[in-house]
A and B are shown apart, each in its own frame.
Chain A
Amino acid sequence: MTAPPTGHEAAAAAVSPAVTGPGTSTARRPGRRAATLIPCAVVALYVLVALIGPLLVPYDPVHTPLEDRLLSPGSTTADGSTAWLGTDGLGRDVLGQIVHGARTSVLIGAATVGLSCLVGVTLGAIAGYARGWVDAVLARVFDVLLAFPAILLAIVIAGAFDRSLLLVVVALSATGWIAFARVTRGVALSLRERPWVDAARVMGVPGREILRRHVLPFTVGPVVAMATLEFALVVLAEAGLSFLGIGLPADTPSWGQTIASGKEYLETAWWISTLPGVALSLLIISVGILGDQLTARHRHGRRSA
């Protein structure tokens, strides 16, 4: 009895992609699903470029062939190679700067998010699980730091010391962990009331084990969603610091520095500032959408659970 419907469904499935017009929601769905994958694909492309791009596109920040300065995209340089995205005011290849800058941005983003996540999740989980005065103190600390403008604090820290990659990571993590702490605290507060946590407490399972086994695994969803959004903010903040000249050392390629170096030539050589800016914007937008998708999926998952 099952054979005819199965055959019919198979036929319908085979026909539906070709059918267009109203009432063919099944035919449109694959396209929509592919569209939701675009941000993920763009982010993956950036990570790929960050990982292997510098091996394919050489770039030397102190090699400044002045005869090649301010070449427009697609020009041929003095040594016969093609500058696909043009050159900057010192004759350095813009494509090389974007590719190497991608590595810097992804590295700083990942390191800062990793550090913030570690500190924030630990403190947030402790605050949410312990409650009492521990929570009262930590929650006030989170609130006070949240009230402080993040970029200002980063500028103060980054400006007070010698420029280095580690310093940028620390300066950006100084406020980045608070978002993680607040999210984790909220989840831990609600998880603490679950009967399985009570059951573990009655059993005499030590608090550290309860946190590790019965609370932390359930914070992964919101923390991952938070991490993506935080990654976008960090990349943007790093570019901002480097633009201001208090971020990375001058010999580290960075989108912020490239954009800053092109600001005197905006009228004559638009490509120096514009192209790294486009690269930056595309990454931030894609990561932002990806983060929203993850947040929505997490919320949906919670509702159905």
Chain B
Amino acid sequence: MTALLDVRDLRVTYGRRRGAFRAVDGVSLTVAPEETLGLVGESGSGKTTVARCVAGLIRPDGGGVHFDGQPLGPVGRRPAALQRAVQMVFQDPRSSLNPRMTVAAVIGEAWRTHPSAAPGGDRAEALHRLLADVGLDASTASRRAGDLSGGQCQRVSIARALAVSPRLLVCDEAVSALDVSVQAQILRLLDDLRRERKLALLFISHDLGVVHQIADRVAVMRRGEVVEEGPAGDVMSAPRHEYTRALLDAALDLDDGTPEQTGTTRDFPA
């Protein structure tokens, strides 16, 4: 199967000359159609920078990003079809929506920008259908970000991305700012949408537990490099790199009850 997203030897440097910091140093990744790739790593490991390169918000210094064989440049230079194909969900649910715009206006903007994605018939009905798909009622359409909960805002962000029928959804810490029960709902929603709409997901998180729930494959980043990559089950149960082991141990310390880990190291007597 050919890759939908192909990131080759990506390099990004922030700052210049002496203060220069290489945030991403030769990262290569692929995401197959309808696959979820989890990208994990501690803060500052360069995962968000990779996401922003894929979304076209920053321009890499070296290497390239290809989507379905076509090069992905800065977002403003992409043809409309490619702009639609790659969408992103951000970390902070509330500030990823313009506080002065209603939900209907947010979705309307997506349709106005890409008329080819806009529904043909009744827009109000299409809007309600789209909101229902992400688990929001029709009454949400007239509300603003300030009137919605974090989970609802994130659902609106997902709806905005889906409005233009993308093929790849980049989720940059999309559930990190939500509380645990809402996290689980949003993860389930993303997974359902991926299946129904045949999306590929590039799912970025620092939280291994979250990545384990959703990802088919996992890539682990540290200091701008991918240190380990493989099927989610293998990486989680038999990490090859010591950094991955350290990450897993850190996650276990905080969260003793992670059921998928109990088989290997912890057997609680009944």
Contact = CB atoms under 8 A, between A and B. Distances in A.
Interface of A: 194-196, 198-207, 209, 213-214, 217-218, 305
Contacts of B9: none
A196 B144 CA distance: 13
B92 interface: yes
A201 B160 CA distance: 13
Enumerate the 10 nearest inter-chain pairs by beta-carbon distance, A residue then B residue, closest first: A204-B83, A195-B96, A195-B90, A196-B98, A202-B88, A202-B55, A195-B95, A205-B113, A199-B96, A214-B98
Interface residues of B, number: 29
A207 B74 CA distance: 13
25 contacts: A195-B91, A195-B95, A196-B95, A196-B96, A196-B99, A198-B96, A199-B157, A199-B160, A200-B109, A201-B76, A202-B56, A202-B75, A202-B83, A202-B86, A202-B87, A202-B88, A203-B113, A203-B114, A204-B75, A204-B113, A204-B114, A205-B109, A209-B113, A213-B109, A305-B99
A194 B97 CA distance: 9
Nearest to B146: A305
Interface in B162-177: 164
A198 B113 contact: no
Nearest to B110: A203
Contacts of B113: 203-206, 209
B96 A204 contact: no
Interface string B90-110: 111001111111000000011
A63 to B, nearest CB: 54
B5 to A, nearest CB: 15
| A interface secondary structure, majority | helix
A30 B80 CA distance: 58
Contacts of A194: 95
A205 B92 CA distance: 20
B160 A196 contact: no
B124 interface: no
B230 to A, nearest CB: 29
Contacts of A200: 98, 109
A200 to B, nearest CB: 7
Given A202-B57, A202-B88, A204-B80, 19 more contacts: A195-B90, A195-B96, A196-B95, A196-B98, A196-B99, A198-B55, A198-B96, A199-B97, A200-B109, A201-B56, A201-B57, A201-B75, A201-B76, A202-B87, A203-B87, A204-B75, A204-B78, A204-B84, A213-B98
Contacts of A205: 109, 113
Contacts of B76: 201, 204, 207
